[in-house]
Amino acid sequence: LIVAAASGGAGWRGAALFMTGASGEAAPIGRSAARAVMGVADAALPPGSAQLVDARHALPVTLLAPDMALLSADEAALAQGRNLALIGAELIQFERAEQTGVASYRLTGLRRGLRGTEWAMAEHVAGEDFLLIEEDRLVEPLAASGSEAEPGSLLRMSAVGIGDVEPAEAALTIRGAALMPPSPVHLVARPDGGGGWTIGWTRRSRNGWRWSSGTDAPLCEESELYAVRLLDGDALVRGAETAAAQWTYAPAMIAADGTAGRALTVEVAQRGTFAPGRVARIMLTA
């Protein structure tokens, strides 16, 4: 759990953080970090590509206070992690920040769906939260206190700054997204020359986002295992598991399923130690 906090006033110096348990009692869990740069999206960001720089779309945002700022960054700075931001549930980077108002900016040169968050591109709405990710402005209060939160649990937190009459409160249901393997990439289906199909993909890791030449991404799970599903519309035709990053839909299977000449959806997801992974999809005509 990462916590960012801010105030509209430039003199804000942080807040004490509390977690409220089922009994309603608030327990202290530390303090916030320095004032984070945050705001809201003025319009819903349309879906884009996670493989290319999104030169088509712009993200208009309004920050919490006029003294907060967003700056442009060159390729070298972006490669070092500059201008990483969370918009809704999608992680992005932006290359250019054009100030359009007292506290408003237009962000372009977007890098989309970073760290496996491409699934969140379709969920954007106007008014959703925007946060500039800067390590020195974030805290992990649960890690610092040695506490854990189980997926599915509801966390209620409050922050109290000096002079605050009422605490700022937030509630969050833990989805366990960090425990889910990301969807495989480069999912392809090729005829095997014998009337069947060979389906292949490349694994990603929830703990291996740095692109190191000559090395594979760390597994980060107890074992390597994938679930493969074939669907005709919404109907499940066949399910299988494989320990390799490929699977063959053999001619005998096609005959048994009665799917010859039919358009099918292939879904592939990695089995995680703590949670099933996100799904990659492709179409094929058997």
What's the total number of domains in the chain? Answer: 2
The answer to whether 250 touches 268, Cβ cutoff 8 Å, is no
The pLDDT value given to residue 83: 98
In a shared domain, residues 196 and 163? no
Domain stop point among 177, 195, 226: 177
CB 157 within 8 Å of CB 169: yes
Are residue 119 and residue 213 in the same domain, yes or no?
no
Partners of residue 127 on adjacent β-strands? none
Distance between CA 237 and CA 196 in Å, rounded? 15
CB 78 within 8 A of CB 84: no
Task: Using the structure block, give the residue that is written with the tokens 């392809």.
Answer: 188
Query: Where among 177, 200, 220 does a domain terminate?
Result: 177
Q: What is the pTM of this model?
A: 0.84
Burial class (CB in 10 A: 0-12, 13-18, 19+), 56: exposed
Examine residue 17 and state whether it is found in any structural domain, yes or no: no
Report pLDDT for 144.
64
170: amino acid identity, one letter: A
Same domain, 189 and 167: no
Last residue in a domain, options 152, 177, 202: 177
Question: What tokens does 192 get?
Answer: 């095997």
Q: Is residue 275 part of a domain?
A: yes
Domain-located, residue 33: no
CB of 269 closer than 8 Å to CB of 187 = no
pLDDT tens track for 35-57? 999 999 999 999 999 989 999 99
Q: Which tens digit of pLDDT belongs to each residue from 163-175?
A: 788 888 888 888 8
* Chain segment 58-93, per-residue pLDDT in tens: 999 999 999 999 999 999 999 999 999 999 999 999
Same-domain pairing of 225 and 108: no
Strands 263-270 and 226-232: antiparallel
| Enclosing domain of residue 225 | 185-285
Tokens of 64: 């919490």
Identify the pLDDT of residue 210. 72
- What's the pLDDT score for residue 108? 98
286 residues of the chain, pLDDT tens digit each? 889 998 887 778 889 998 887 677 888 888 899 999 999 999 999 999 998 999 999 999 999 999 999 999 999 999 999 999 999 999 999 999 999 999 999 999 999 999 999 999 999 999 999 999 999 999 887 776 666 777 788 888 889 888 788 888 888 888 888 888 999 999 999 999 999 999 999 999 888 777 676 677 788 888 999 999 999 999 999 999 999 999 999 999 999 999 999 999 999 999 999 889 999 999 999 8
Stated length of the chain: 286
